[in-house]
C-alpha cells in the first residue's frame, strides 16, 4: 500500500479507525520479525569486525616498535667475493719457487707471490 494512497483514503473516509489500527499492528509485527532476523544473522556471522584498522595508534603496537628499535641489527655472514692475496697464500697447499728460464737462481730475487689453481690427480689444488 502506497503512503499517498493511504492518506487519501483516510481523508476521504474510505479507511476506518479499526483498519488503521489493524494496519499499524501488522506493520509492528513485521518490524519485530525483521529485527529478530537481523539479530539472528549477526549471531551467525560472529562478532563485529574489530576497530583496530581505524585506530592509527595502539599501545601494543607502539611497544612492539620500541622493542624492535632496541634490537641490534643482525650481522650478515661473509659471503664469497674477492679475497686478499694474503688469505689465498695462507690457503695454498704448497709454495713453489719459480724462476725465469735460463737465469741462474743466485741472480734472482723475490718479486711477488702469486696464487694459482692447478689440477693434480683430478683435483684442484691451490699453489702459491
Is 0.75 surpassed by the pTM of this model?
no
- 37 falls within a domain: yes
Long-range contacts of 19-23 (CB under 8 A, 24+ apart): none
Reported as a single tens digit per residue, the pLDDT across 41-74 is 988 887 665 555 555 667 777 777 777 777 666 6
Going along the chain, which residue ranges are E strands?
116-120, 123-127
Reported as a single tens digit per residue, the pLDDT across 71-99 is 666 677 777 788 888 888 898 888 888 88
Number of domains forming the structure of the chain:
2
- 61 falls within a domain: no
Reported as a single tens digit per residue, the pLDDT across 36-47 is 999 999 888 876
- 30 falls within a domain: yes
Residue with cell 518490524: 31
- 103 falls within a domain: yes
Domain span at residue 95 reads 85-127
- 34 falls within a domain: yes
Amino acid at each position: 500500500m502506497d503512503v499517498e494512497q493511504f492518506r487519501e483514503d483516510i481523508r476521504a473516509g474510505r479507511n476506518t479507525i479499526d483498519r488503521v489500527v489493524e494496519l499499524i499492528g501488522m506493520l509492528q509485527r513485521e518490524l519485530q520479525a525483521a529485527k529478530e532476523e537481523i539479530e539472528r544473522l549477526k549471531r551467525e556471522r560472529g562478532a563485529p569486525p574489530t576497530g583496530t584498522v581505524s585506530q592509527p595508534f595502539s599501545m601494543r603496537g607502539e611497544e612492539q616498535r620500541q622493542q624492535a628499535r632496541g634490537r641490534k641489527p643482525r650481522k650478515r655472514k661473509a659471503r664469497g667475493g674477492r679475497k686478499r692475496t694474503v688469505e689465498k697464500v695462507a690457503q695454498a697447499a704448497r709454495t713453489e719457487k719459480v724462476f725465469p728460464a735460463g737465469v741462474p737462481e743466485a741472480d734472482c730475487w723475490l718479486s711477488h707471490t702469486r696464487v694459482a689453481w692447478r689440477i693434480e690427480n683430478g683435483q684442484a689444488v691451490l699453489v702459491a
